[in-house]
Structure 1
Amino acid sequence: MNPGATLVGPVLEYPCASAYDRELCAQVRPPDWHNPQPRSCYDWLVIGGGPAGLTAARGAAALGASVALVECHLLGGVSLNYGSVSSQALIRTSRLYAEMRDASYYGTYPPTSIEVDFALAMERMRRIRARLARLSSATSIAALGIDLFFGTARFVRDDAIDLDGMRLSFKKALIATGSRSLLPTLPGLTEAGYLTNETVFDLTTLPASLLVIGGGPVGCELAQAFCRFGSRTVIVHDEPLFLPTEERDAAQLLSAALARDGIEMHLNTTAVAVRGDSGRKIVETVSDGDVGTVTADTVLTGIGRVPAVGGLDLEAAGVAFDTTTGIRVDDFLRTTSKRIFAAGDVCMEHPFVDTAHASARIAVHNALCRGRQRLSRLTIPWCTYTDPEIAHVGLYVRQARAQGIPIKTFTVPMHDVDRAIADGGEEGFVKIHVREGTDTILGATIVARHAGEMINDLSLAMVAGIGLDTMARVIHAYPTQAEAVRKAAEACRRRHRPQWRTWLQRWRGAR
């Protein structure tokens, strides 16, 4: 321990406080952690220990900079502690239960009795979360030469912060405080009680019924998972389709899949009030002027997230921000203060872990290496992990048309793909958009069992400038679901090679 180091106060533990939760906290917020004695001035100070903050701190340390990392709660951020790691573990278990119930479709007999052990599924999730926390542990960060501080930071100048009474000075800084759950302003919600995408992972008992408010990615993923565990699940969504930013046919396929799972759906419906009654929640809804009610044991809000900008005293550093859109940055991730950059959910439109990592690398390069890397040049894929998954990269058709870009789309349904048929995953499609008259890939949407894996090939092609014609020459292992991408590429190649047909016709005529 450094001379003059201070002991960090007690940290909130997970309500479950299982052995795995205690192991997790020991990694990402050790109860006996001592903040180091700060240096006179740091080359690089990072506020926020989530994916963006950790990447930025590690990247700067690798360059030889003196680095301070400040985290107010748990290292690893939402992704590790409450987000994608936890949800993916639960989604996988829920899919197994669904496959057991459909065993006859796969040529075997279903178990005579399928008993859902929700507590065991949650224990598995916590075990996985604790294991992955080792990669973001406090000791591993300190071992890189990074000064790790736990506490609440606020700016006092554009070159210094106050950390619970301790002054930390810096030459350059990065704000990577992430985002927080966006809660609907429903009368009675707080009094009745609710879960968010963060607190839902504290459950140990499966709710008999669950009402999900919001049909975005998080709401749909968790609704499907809990339905497959056996909860009577209802989604109330104020749009005509789920995933309103996705392509219409993709959203329609998802609606059909959720309906087959038994989810009760109320689209074009707004939740307007909540009240408690004997431990249950009664949610009042409005749809086309008609008032109704939905009763459930538990309410889950899944309507999105907002940037975490509160309590930083950004005005003292001259950093412009908005409580809805986050910190204002330029294309180089510079804020309105020349010393301070931002990365991740706190400033970006797409709140994804991969974009947090990518933006952090850009910020480090531009701040410490006098680089000129641009945020706008990132090619960003994303995926909603329902069953089937919905993945996208690049432009949608509506965006291309709005920009006046002529576009041609090549679509391959998954029921034309051998592996999808063999796996019983015929639902979905691969849809690839190219600039009309060329093979330049502008965007793609994939709806399939493994869409999140399949989209990566197209992301790579877009980044590397590989045209769809060239992808037709790539030999894929057979049988795989990625064959759908090759089929789309072959369709593009045939369309762009009319001279072959002309030459063949002339050759036949000569004979």
Structure 2
Amino acid sequence: MKKPALFLALALLVAVLIALIGRNPPDLDMLRGHLTGLEARMAENPLTVAAIFFAAYVAVTALSLPLAVWMTLAAGALFGFWWGLLLVSFASTTGATLAFLASRYLLSDWVHEKLGNRLQTIDEGMERDGAFYLFTLRLIPAIPFFAINLLMGLTPIRALTFYLVSQAGMLAGTAVYVNAGTQLAQLESLSGILSLPLILSFVLLGIFPWIAKFVLRLIKRRRAYAGWTRPARYDRNLVVIGAGAAGLVSAYIAAAVKAKVTLIESHKMGGDCLNYGCVPSKALIKSAKLAHQMRHADHYGLTATTPEFSFRKVFERIHAVVKAIEPHDSVDRYEGLGVEVLQGHAKLIDPWTVEITGADGAAQRLTTRSVILATGAAPFVPPLPGLDEVGHLTSDTLWDDMVGRDAAPKRLVVLGGGPIGCELAQSFARLGSEVTQIEMLPRILIREDEEVSDLVKASMEADGVTVLTGHKAVALGKTGDKKWIEVEANGQTRKIEFDDILVAVGRAARLKGYGLEELGIETGRVIETNEYLETKYPNILAAGDVAGPFQFTHTASHQAWFASVNALFGKFKRFKADYRVIPWATFTDPEVARVGLNEQEAKEKGIPFEVTRYGIDDLDRAIADGSAVGFVKVLTPPGKDTILGVTIAGEHAGDLMAEFVFAMKHGHGLGKILSTIHIYPTLAEANKYAAGEWRKAHVNVRTLSLLERFHSWRRG
């Protein structure tokens, strides 16, 4: 708080100076009177007068005093046009930069602390286009320059950039006033300098960079579409390829604003999440957790028992759950919303034409103003020798393969230590499989902090999973009827026998067969897009797993809003995809949820932080539920309650995370969470207690000492 206090003191000083100037406001007669005396001194010692004038001008602009116009006129009268322009140009820019630096030093940290993440978009824009915005503002003298100096100090624009752009941007306005000063004897009022036509000219000059930017964008668009013939009319406003989370939301938004939209799906409505990912896996996790609780019923004062169940019925239930949710994503529902739904494979023929080939081989073509590619991702299967020979399961094929079995795989190898591999390894172990999990990296859940990986690993091992980290799969094969996988660790190899192997080493975007190569749309691991989710062709956008950078259902839906709005209204207004606050969860037991930075990322990026931690083993509701395992860990800047990131490990971690996501999104700190009433007894109190731990660690010791003396005095 010392810096804002210093700023207020400085502002008070400036206010007093302005008040003193206001008592006897300058005018042209006063200026001419002062110049009469200065002209004599100028004749005797021009360099001294120039140096004093330069220093005075710097001070006036640095303090934002309303004297700059009068001093600029004086410069023209005393030194002539060229020397006056040189002096004022450098003095005004130097003073402006000093005001800019003072604002940055005294106010920037305080303002960012108060507004938090709400400034992130502005900061990102200024880092990218700050020079452009500053130059535009400097060209319009109607905008107070002192306000520009102070506000720019709150942004991340570099000081050197600020100085150079200000030097160039203020030159035209400075020249007008210096030139007027050379004709001071004939000047009757300031209105004669800055007439309405001249002001309008400056405004047009300020708008020119925006016009130039727009023209460059048009030229870029024309180059992108060179060689293609645009249709005279369009069959659709929007065609969406893929009916997963991103595609469904995009089509829904388009229909809601009464656009004519077609949604094309080659396989199942609902995409991976409904049919192969989120929904079936969570149904499996629930059954596995109940089996686990039955084995450990004595933990709740009941009789522990070995669960008896039909593995076939477990998977029949999983399919029943999928069937129950299917109507939410069905053809009927979306057609009822006004979306045309076509079953078939879609391929781009040109930037405005999509060809749809049905199961019977019949093809039709639709022209459309815009296209959204939401083709999703599929499990990545590494080219391991022998993998095709032994056969394998993935998170896509698992659900149909298991539904007809009477028992869980006796020996299951799970290849991969990411979220999918961990969730499925633990679930199958709880349902009776002997599970071996193989991970090439030093630990599972490598994106999480080490203590999180260790906590989940310990829980999985307690469930019977053999977790082999630092083991690289080399080859697979059969010896008679026995299947095996060969792994290498520390220079040694060994073979592990199994009955089934589940490959869960990641997912790859679906990029082939959609005409991207023919159109020259750039792809790497995903389709390359700009911040508006546009591809090489601005009318072709991508969203969801195929666009990256995240592979979560909730981020696919989030991207879909930006993609659909930009596709339909981008000619008038575009929105940059906002990735500031992205949460995710791994649904192992205990669950792991995260938003923002964790410790290892903060260290990698060199971001200073402090850690506040609350152990869930101390939480009343967790103790009562028998789930007193895990922690809430919050990262904040040193000495501040601004939330940089949160990791929660424990029961319902994904649900508990919502409060922190909201706080980060809207710039609220831990103090706001601490002051919020949480129902007792609930797991959500863990968030409040974590905020309380931060508060206890930042109590002012001197204040407490004074309070102790005060209470002692009150007792007599």
TM-score (ref. length: structure 1): 0.89
1:139 to 315, 324, 332: 332
User: Any conservation in 2 of the 1:194–1:300 contact (CA below 8 Å)?
Assistant: yes
- Deviation of 1:100 after TM superposition, in Å, equals 0.2
Indicate the residue corresponding to 1:23 in structure 2: none
- Deviation of 1:126 after TM superposition, in Å, equals 0.6
- Deviation of 1:183 after TM superposition, in Å, equals 0.4
- Deviation of 1:162 after TM superposition, in Å, equals 1.5
2:434 to 229, 232, 255: 232
Indicate the residue corresponding to 1:99 in structure 2: 293
List, as ranges, runs of 4+ consecutive aligned residues in structure 1 with deviation greater than 4 Å.
none
Indicate the residue corresponding to 2:302 in structure 1: 108
Indicate the residue corresponding to 1:51 in structure 2: 245
Query: Residues 98-247 of structure 1 correspond to what in structure 2 (within 5 A)?
Result: 98-111=292-305, 113-164=306-357, 165-202=363-400, 203-204=402-403, 205=405, 206-247=408-449
**Amino acid aligned to 1:359:** Q
Tell me the secondary structure at the aligned position of residue 327 of structure 2: helix
**Amino acid aligned to 1:337:** Y
| Structure 1, gaps ≥5 residues long | 1-38
* Bigger fraction of residues in helix: 2
1:341 to 541, 546, 563: 541
1:84 pairs with 2:278? yes
- Deviation of 1:508 after TM superposition, in Å, equals 3.5
Partner Cα distance (1:214, 1:353) in 2: 21
User: Any conservation in 1 of the 2:527–2:535 contact (CA below 8 Å)?
Assistant: yes
User: Any conservation in 2 of the 1:158–1:316 contact (CA below 8 Å)?
Assistant: no
Indicate the residue corresponding to 1:355 in structure 2: 555
Partner Cα distance (1:61, 1:407) in 2: 45
Partner Cα distance (1:226, 1:394) in 2: 31
- Deviation of 1:390 after TM superposition, in Å, equals 0.7
Kindly tell me: are residues 140 and 299 of structure 1, through their superposed partners in 2, closer, same or farther at Cα, counting changes over 3 Å? same
Partner Cα distance (1:363, 1:378) in 2: 17
Deviations 1:65-94 (A, max 9, x none): 110111111110000011110000010000
Tell me the secondary structure at the aligned position of residue 267 of structure 2: coil
1:290 pairs with 2:492? yes
**Amino acid aligned to 1:379:** V
User: Any conservation in 2 of the 1:159–1:317 contact (CA below 8 Å)?
Assistant: no
- Deviation of 1:158 after TM superposition, in Å, equals 0.9
Partner Cα distance (1:501, 1:336) in 2: 62
Indicate the residue corresponding to 1:474 in structure 2: 676
User: Any conservation in 2 of the 1:241–1:251 contact (CA below 8 Å)?
Assistant: yes
Relative contact order, higher structure (CA 8 A, sep 6+): 1
Indicate the residue corresponding to 1:30 in structure 2: none
Indicate the residue corresponding to 2:167 in structure 1: none
User: Any conservation in 2 of the 1:116–1:230 contact (CA below 8 Å)?
Assistant: no
User: Any conservation in 2 of the 1:309–1:346 contact (CA below 8 Å)?
Assistant: yes
User: Any conservation in 2 of the 1:242–1:251 contact (CA below 8 Å)?
Assistant: yes
Indicate the residue corresponding to 2:259 in structure 1: 65
Larger radius of gyration: 2
**Amino acid aligned to 2:688:** R
| Structure 2, gaps ≥5 residues long | 1-232, 358-362
Query: Residues 361-510 of structure 1 correspond to what in structure 2 (within 5 A)?
Result: 361-370=561-570, 371-498=573-700, 500-501=703-704, 503-508=706-711, 510=713
Tell me the secondary structure at the aligned position of residue 230 of structure 1: coil
Partner Cα distance (1:169, 1:291) in 2: 57
Deviations 1:76-115 (A, max 9, x none): 000001111000001000000000000111111123x521
Aligned residues with identical type, % of pairs: 37
Partner Cα distance (1:107, 1:280) in 2: 43
Partner Cα distance (1:413, 1:401) in 2: 23
Indicate the residue corresponding to 1:42 in structure 2: 236
2:451 to 249, 253, 256: 249
Deviations 1:328-373 (A, max 9, x none): 1112211121111110000112100000000001111222233443
Partner Cα distance (1:367, 1:509) in 2: 69
Deviations 1:24-75 (A, max 9, x none): xxxxxxxxxxxxxxx9521111011101000000011101111011111111
